[in-house]
Chain A
Amino acid sequence: MTLTAANLVRRANGRPLVDGVSLTAEPGECLAIVGPNGSGKTTLISMFAGLRLPHAGRVTLNGTPLHRLDRRSVARQIALVEQHAETGERLSVREVVDLGRIPHLGPLSPRGARDEAVVDRALVAVGMADMAGRSWHSLSGGERQRAHIARALAQEPQILILDEPTNHLDIEHQLAILALVTALDATIIVALHDLNHAAMFADRVAVMERGRLVAIGRPADVLTAERISAVFKVQATIEPTETGRGFIRFTAPSRPATWG
C-alpha cells in the first residue's frame, strides 16, 4: 500500500500553506514530518488523509487518485489520529474505539463477532483493555490519545497518519505512544515537533519549511547541525549514539532576545 504525493499545493488567502510537495510513503516504513510552526505539516497531513483537496497536484493510493476513491474504502485503508479531537458526548472508551468499525459496516448491517474481536484487540494493543468502560471525560490527555490510536487501529488500516500525537503529553507517555505506534504493522506517517523523537523512531524524516519539502531521508543524513540551524534557527550539535541515529543537543541562544 503506497501513498504518494505529487506536487501538492494548497493555499489559504492566496498564501501557499503547502507548496509543491512530492513524496512517497513506502509500505511499512515510519515517515516523520518535521518543521517549524506554520511550515505546513498539518495541511500536508490533511491532504494525505483525503480531508482536504489539494489546489494543485494530487495524492494517490497505489496509483489511484485519492479523490476518485470512495470515502469508505479510503477509511478502510487510511486511518487518521488528529491533533485535538474532542467530544461533548458522554462516550465510553469502548464506544470511541467502536467508531473505527464504521467504515467496515453498512448502514443496516449489525456489528458482528469479528468487529467486537477487532475492537478488543485494538484496546489491548494500546493497553486500555481494563479501561473500556471508562467515560471519555474522565480520561487524561495521554489516555485520550491512546484511545484515539485504538480507534484508528480498529479501522484495520494499512496506513496510519498521526498529527503530533505526543502534544501535551508528559515524557513517559510521549515515548510510550511513539514506541507503540512504530511497532505497528502498518505504514506510519507522523508529524512531530520533537526532532529527537524523529531521530529515535523514524525510518525516514521529511523536513518542511514554509510549505516546501527541503529534505527527506534517513534521520542521520537529514537532521544535521547545518540543516537544523537553517530551518529551525537554533544551534545544535549531533552526538553519536549506539543506534547510529544520533542525539540532537540544542544550544541555548547566545544572546537573549531583546524586547521591542
Chain B
Amino acid sequence: MNLARSRAMAGARLLGVVALSVALLGATVIFGATIGETQIPFHTVAATITNHLFGAGYPVDTIDAGIVWNYRLARAVVAAACGAALAVSGVVLQSLLRNALADPYLLGISAGASSGAVSVAILGLGGGLLTLSAGALCGALLAFSLVALLAVLAGRGPTAIILAGIAGSQLFNALTSFVVTKSASADEARGIMFWLLGNLSGVRWPDAWMAMPIVGLGLAVCLLHARSLDAFAFGTDAAAALGVPVRRVQATLIAITALMTAVMVSIVGSIGFVGLVIPHAAKLIVGVRHVVLLPAAALVGAVFLIGADVVSRTIIAGQVLPIGVITALVGAPAFALILVHRPSGAGGTAR
C-alpha cells in the first residue's frame, strides 16, 4: 500500500475542488456584478473591481464604477452569503430533525422577523432609532426564543421542535397581519409585502460586512459538527450510542442556524424555498456526508441566489421582482419532484 502517495493525491484533489469552488463562486459574483439594466462592459467591471481590491488605478467612469461596486457587487455578495446561510441552515435542520421538509423558517424566524419589521415600519416602534433590519432581527430572535422555550417545555424531541415552530410562526404571522390590516396604508402594506417576499434592492456594503462573517462563522461551527450530523441519520438514540452529546449538539446547531437565518432575514426579508430545496439538490450532487454536503450546499445556495437575483432584476424590463418570487417559482416545482422521488421509508410513516 502506498499510503503516503494516496494521501497526497487525496490532498491534491481536495485542493483542486476547493480552488474550483472558489473560482466558481467568484465568477458568479462577477457575473452578478456585470448583468443589469444599465449596460456596462465587462472590462469596466473588471477594472472597477481591480481598482477597489488592489488599488490598480485604471481609468473608469465614476458612475459606472459606482453602480458596479456599490450597487451590484454588494448585492451579489449579500445574495451569495444569504443563499449559503439558508442552504447550510436547511441541511443542518433537515438532518437534526430528521425531516426532509424542514427549512430555516421552520423555527418561527421569518414570521418573527416580519412582525419586527412591521412594528418598526408601521407602528413606529423605536421612535425612528431602529431601522427596519434591526427591528426584523429583534423580532426574529424573539420569535425563536419563544419557539425554543416552547420546544423545551414540550419535550425537546424533533416533533416537539417542529410543532413549536409551527405554533410560533402562526402566532407571529397573525400579529403581522393584524398590524398591517389595522394600521397600514395601502402603500405601506405594499412595501411590507415586497420586503416579506425578499428584497435585495437596498443592500449596500455595510450589509455585506454583516452577512459575510455570520455565514463564515455559521459554516465553520456546522463543519465542526459534521460527524455528529452524520450520526443523526438513524435518530437521536443512534447518535447518542455513537458518542454524540445529543442535547448539546442540538442546542448549538439550532442556535447557530437561527442566528444565521435571523441575520439574513433582517437584511433581505424572507426568501423562501432556498433553505428547503438547495439541501436536497446538494445531496443529489455530493451525497449525504456532511463534511462535503455542508460546503457544497453553501456553494450551490450562493450561486443559485445570485442567479435568482439577476433573473429578478432582468426578467421584466424596468421592474424588479421580489427575489422570493423567483426562488419559489423554481423551488416549488423542484420541491414537488423531491416529494415524488423521496426514498420509501423516509419520514417514517408505516405502511
Is B235 close to A, CB under 8 A? Answer: yes
CB pair B242–A75 under 8 Å, yes or no, is yes
Contact of B98 among A79, A88, A95, A137 (CB under 8 A): A88
Is B3 close to A, CB under 8 A? Answer: yes
B100 neighbours in A (Cβ, 8 Å): 88
Given A102-B227, A107-B226, A155-B242: A51 and B98 within 8 A (CB)? no
CB pair A71–B225 under 8 Å, yes or no, is no
Given A79-B241, A137-B343, A137-B345: A91 and B288 within 8 A (CB)? yes
Give the interface of A toward B (CB within 8 A): 46, 49-51, 70-76, 78-80, 82, 85-91, 95-96, 99-100, 102-103, 105, 107-108, 113, 135, 137, 155
A108 neighbours in B (Cβ, 8 Å): 224
Query: In the complex, which of the residues A49, A78, A85, A87 has the most CB atoms of chain B within 10 Å of its own CB atom?
Result: A87
Q: Name the distance in Å between B157's Cβ and chain A's nearest Cβ.
A: 14
**A-B pairs, 7 with minimum CB distance:** A75-B243, A88-B346, A72-B243, A103-B243, A80-B241, A85-B234, A137-B343
Q: Per-residue CB proximity of B29-71 to A under 8 Å, as 1/0?
A: 0000000000000000000000000000000000000000000
Is B318 close to A, CB under 8 A? Answer: no
Given A75-B242, A88-B98: A102 and B234 within 8 A (CB)? no
CB pair B238–A113 under 8 Å, yes or no, is no
Q: List 21 A-B contacts (CB under 8 A).
A: A71-B243, A72-B243, A78-B241, A82-B237, A85-B234, A86-B348, A87-B234, A88-B343, A88-B347, A89-B283, A89-B288, A90-B288, A91-B288, A95-B288, A99-B234, A99-B242, A102-B242, A102-B244, A107-B224, A107-B227, A113-B1
Is B190 close to A, CB under 8 A? Answer: no
A-B interface contact total, Cβ < 8 Å: 92
Given A71-B243, A90-B288, A91-B288: A85 and B227 within 8 A (CB)? no
B289 neighbours in A (Cβ, 8 Å): 95
Chain A residue with Cβ nearest B244: A71
| Bound form: Cα–Cα A70–B244 in Å | 10
Q: Name the distance in Å between A154's Cβ and chain B's nearest Cβ.
A: 10
Interface residues of B in 287-329 (CB under 8 A from A): 287-289
Q: Name the distance in Å between B320's Cβ and chain A's nearest Cβ.
A: 38
Consensus secondary structure, chain B interface: loop
Interface residues of B in 241-256 (CB under 8 A from A): 241-245
A50 neighbours in B (Cβ, 8 Å): 240-241
| Bound form: Cα–Cα A213–B9 in Å | 57
Chain A residue with Cβ nearest B284: A90
Chain B residue with Cβ nearest A73: B243
CB pair B345–A86 under 8 Å, yes or no, is yes
Q: Name the distance in Å between B244's Cβ and chain A's nearest Cβ.
A: 7
CB pair A99–B345 under 8 Å, yes or no, is no
CB pair A71–B231 under 8 Å, yes or no, is no
Given A75-B243, A99-B230, A107-B224: A82 and B238 within 8 A (CB)? yes
Is B13 close to A, CB under 8 A? Answer: no
B283 neighbours in A (Cβ, 8 Å): 89-90
Q: Name the distance in Å between B134's Cβ and chain A's nearest Cβ.
A: 34
| Bound form: Cα–Cα A88–B348 in Å | 8
CB pair A76–B233 under 8 Å, yes or no, is no
Query: In the complex, which of the residues B343, B347, B348 has the most CB atoms of chain A within 10 Å of its own CB atom?
Result: B343
Is B181 close to A, CB under 8 A? Answer: no
Q: Name the distance in Å between B83's Cβ and chain A's nearest Cβ.
A: 23
Q: Name the distance in Å between B71's Cβ and chain A's nearest Cβ.
A: 40
Q: Name the distance in Å between A72's Cβ and chain B's nearest Cβ.
A: 4
Give 9 new A-B contacts, CB below 8 A, not counting A82-B237, A103-B242.
A75-B243, A87-B234, A88-B98, A88-B347, A89-B288, A99-B234, A100-B242, A102-B227, A102-B242
B234 neighbours in A (Cβ, 8 Å): 82, 85-87, 99
Q: Name the distance in Å between A111's Cβ and chain B's nearest Cβ.
A: 10
Q: Per-residue CB proximity of B182-210 to A under 8 Å, as 1/0?
A: 00000000000000000000000000000
| Bound form: Cα–Cα A107–B231 in Å | 12
B238 neighbours in A (Cβ, 8 Å): 80, 82, 85
CB pair A87–B233 under 8 Å, yes or no, is yes
Contact of A76 among B3, B225, B243, B346 (CB under 8 A): B243
CB pair A137–B344 under 8 Å, yes or no, is yes
Chain A residue with Cβ nearest B238: A85
Q: Name the distance in Å between B123's Cβ and chain A's nearest Cβ.
A: 43
Chain B residue with Cβ nearest A137: B343
CB pair B241–A75 under 8 Å, yes or no, is yes
Q: Name the distance in Å between B347's Cβ and chain A's nearest Cβ.
A: 6
A96 neighbours in B (Cβ, 8 Å): 233
B225 neighbours in A (Cβ, 8 Å): 107
| Bound form: Cα–Cα A92–B145 in Å | 37
Query: In the complex, which of the residues A73, A86, A96, A135 has the most CB atoms of chain B within 10 Å of its own CB atom?
Result: A86
CB pair B342–A102 under 8 Å, yes or no, is no
Interface residues of B in 331-351 (CB under 8 A from A): 342-348
